Amino acid sequence: MATEIKKYHVLFYGSPAGYQTNRAQIALYDGNDQTVAYLRFNDPGMFFENDSQSDGRIKMHLPSAMFENVLDVLRNEKPVYIYFAQGRGFLSTSKEPVGEDEE
């Protein structure tokens, strides 16, 4: 089941090793301000964990090179959804007409 994202929070980790194998994290929240997912970003050469879901929260792991693209989607698209299927996290938009201007 997909959950619509209403808010997000960005966190960057310092030091050469980052934090818990991650360089940055974006937490995603639903309409009730409940955390529904953590998008975790890893630099090349860092250990990548598998995506997972527990206690209703998704942990999705992506390369750091995708950070700006993900942030762009969160800033400029609406609605945005997160869901977990086949052992992977998925971040998506809904169908939109080609050439539609964003508000």
Does residue 98 sit within a domain?
no
Tell me which residue has tokens 């879901």. Answer: 53
Q: Kindly tell me the burial class for residue 2, based on how many C-beta atoms sit within 10 Å of its own C-beta (0-12, 13-18, 19 or more).
A: middle
Does residue 77 sit within a domain?
yes
Range of the domain at 60: 3-93
Q: Phi first, then psi: give them for residue 66, nearest 5 degrees.
A: -90, -5
pLDDT for 32-75, tens place per residue?
999 999 999 999 988 889 999 999 999 999 999 999 999 999 99
Does residue 38 sit within a domain?
yes
25: its two tokens: 């994290």
If one counts the domains in the chain, the total is 1
Does residue 16 sit within a domain?
yes
pLDDT for 2-12, tens place per residue?
999 999 999 99
pLDDT for 77-102, tens place per residue?
999 999 999 999 999 998 777 776 65
Does residue 101 sit within a domain?
no
C-alpha torsion angle, residues 63, 86, 75, 38 (rounded to 10): -70
Does residue 99 sit within a domain?
no
Does residue 87 sit within a domain?
yes
Does residue 29 sit within a domain?
yes
Confirm if 6 and 29 have CB atoms less than 8 A apart: yes
Q: Measured between alpha carbons, how far is 55 from 95 in angstroms, rounded to an integer? A: 29
